[in-house]
Structure 1
């Protein structure tokens, strides 16, 4: 007897039921794939670690690189950036919040680096980027007293909103930190405050009384912060 003779014959109604069941199974499979798409292990791992990354601005490019534990020294982080860019570890400057990470032995935490933030790398001989630099800068307009005052207030805001809280924290907890972290934090704060002073000094008030008054107040505030930083540093070194 031929093998096909062993297959039971189905009537038209049975065939309809069978076809309907196959169609339902196929539809269910498609819906399941749409609702619960498979995720490769690498993608899940990247999603889990998504917050432990930083954005690195490198020329016209922006790349995301993994951020190692914050106790990692800058020298080790340079190797991570070198792997991501192909540059030699000692062939670039790392800039974060306007300051250059010069101390390769200091931990990342000393510079306030946090996951999700942005930093920049530039060649050793390239000038530091300025906050005012843009990709497509419009034609330079002659400054007015109002625009000058706005620039002064921006610098003042960076002192009061960002640097002042960091200074207070350093003065309160600096003595409890290890020596490398303490030195790196002192250096970074000093550089950032000094940069504000230099930018304020570069602004021409051109005889505008209100602008001159606001710049004077901002300069005094920055100088007072530098004095407090130096006084606190002397106490820390004396108690070291």
Structure 2
């Protein structure tokens, strides 16, 4: 018999799997047991073992380095009936979980942008003002600043593209109208932010080429 301990905040439980080894138990089955116990929607339920998030519901638990009698941490929020009724199309808790996931990911993106984009924009303006022509040997002191701009653009664009991938990976049922609309708006806003930093990067490239800058 295999016994797995689950810790969810201050709550704990243990699941028994009689006559089965970790290699015989798919992650999806364990997640379903956790859902039945906690009431957390499957779409918002995450299991963590040894600091790593467990993914792929079809994979056996033995793939995640879990030990018999080991403890697994569960993450997720059990919504209230009011939360579900207020946010969703038809009162489905799984749609609620998707909406929260999308909103949470978008907020992380907005927080990142609010923290870094103003500084990036100021650095772009300073660079353009101090270097209106192509970089040459006499402008070597400016090269570190240019490298910093390149790194900043790369970091921001990579994070925004990762956010787009997360939104693209959120699968909404056809009748999850609110979740689908929330995902569309998140994609639209993230793409807009990506266009903003790409436009600033193009201004820097135009400055390097000696092209006239728009006021």
TM-score w.r.t. length of structure 1? 0.41
- Higher relative CO (Cα under 8 Å, sequence separation at least 6) belongs to 2
